[in-house]
Structure 1
């Protein structure tokens, strides 16, 4: 057996292992770049919305550092309160907004919400989103094509 190649084979195995670990780490980071949505409340209301039975839905949405949300619309008015961190967002043709904890935002029905991202490299951002809508509406976020 030729033992001169053992160090070379060992080096190839180590480099291959490191490349696999680096790829898995990169994939994990890419997978955590999306916002996480947690449903907090769904409550049927006595009131109506556009003459139809209404429902209130509340979500907590969390963006880890650098995470973003793709362009979308909501089929109902959406009210936002920033719980933690900072976000950059744009609603309709309005300016890019820089929101911080304690700020609020109103998104009119079916208005394009094109950019939302957490610009921080170290801190997460969280919001509370409240929507009042027709009970028949099942999809409260409509991705932009």
Structure 2
């Protein structure tokens, strides 16, 4: 299965997730579903921003096609990360999908106020989590045409 039929290359996904179990499960779903992608992982908000702004050890990081962003992160939370992305001229159009365990209506509203492209709640049940990731793939990586990356 391939994203980016316009360019023929795998999707570059930045997964911002501090839970190792969720990272592992997401990697497995992409691998087993033969989802054509390059998955990069940042384990906190500061690392995610360093990756996106190509700072420090991430100076050579690729520009992702899409970001999967947890809200409950150490050092900088997902709202802060999303706000910095949206306030940057080069990153403002980068699709950001919130993927979090929070079902709080206030979190949903805040994410959309900060211009998240979608809000997905991570199910606790592993099989439902797999279905959520597969649905993400079916829509965002197979149907949607993603914007070209602005190179810094």
TM-score (norm 2): 0.26
Which structure has more relative contact order (CA 8 Å, sep 6+)? It is 1
* Structure 1 or 2: more strand by fraction: 1
TM-score (norm 1): 0.27
* Structure 1 or 2: more helix by fraction: 2
